[in-house]
Amino acid sequence: MSTNDDSQWPLWEVFTQSETGAAHQHAGSVRAVDPEMALQNARDVFGRRGPVLSIWVVPSSAITATRPSDTGPFFDPADDKVYRHSSFYKGPTGIKSQNSEA
């Protein structure tokens, strides 16, 4: 949860898309009083260098995040189960893997 108990304007998380079809990626955050100004600030801070096709701004307060204390229970169990990764399985002989085709 984000609080706004100082004199700062609300915080917004900025996501930018660099090419058609690509996922929007987190670029950083800006402060602004409302969505339109957040969008403009995001454009000026993160959109002025390099190609940007689209920008999303999201109130930081709308994001629910894991806590550092969640790290063990949430993520460690994935470490020791190699069979959850496709690389664990061997493809049939004679079939090129997708990775080697690129």
Partner 1 sequence: MVTNEQMRPALFEYLLCLGDDMLVLGHRLSEWCGHAPIIEEDIALANIALDCIGQGAALLRLAGHVEGKGRTDDALVYFRDPMDFKNAELVEQPNGDFGFTIARQFLFDAFSYHLYEALSKSGHTELAAIATKAFKEISYHLRHSSEWTRRLGDGTAESHARIQNAFDELWPLTDELFAADESETVLVGAGVAANRESLKPAWDGTVNEVLKSATLARPQEDGVKLHTRNGGPVRRHSEHLGRMLAEMQSLARAYPEAEW
Asked if residue 70 binds partner 1 (CB under 8 A), the reply is no
Using CB under 8 A, pick the residue from 4, 36, 66, 77 that binds partner 1.
36
Residue 42's alpha-carbon distances to 39, 55, 68, 83, in angstroms, are 5, 8, 28, 41
Taking the complex as a whole, the smallest distance from the CB of residue 98 to partner 1 amounts, in Å, to: 41
Taking the complex as a whole, the smallest distance from the CB of residue 30 to partner 1 amounts, in Å, to: 5
Taking the complex as a whole, the smallest distance from the CB of residue 24 to partner 1 amounts, in Å, to: 20
Q: CA–CA separation, 59 vs 44, rounded Å?
A: 18
Asked if residue 31 binds partner 1 (CB under 8 A), the reply is yes
Asked if residue 48 binds partner 1 (CB under 8 A), the reply is yes
Residue/partner pairs of 27-35 with CB below 8 Å, 24 or more apart: 29/60, 30/57, 32/57, 33/9
- Are the C-beta atoms of 17 and 54 separated by less than 8 Å? yes
Residues in the site for partner 1, rule: CB under 8 A?
9, 30-34, 36-37, 40-41, 43-45, 48
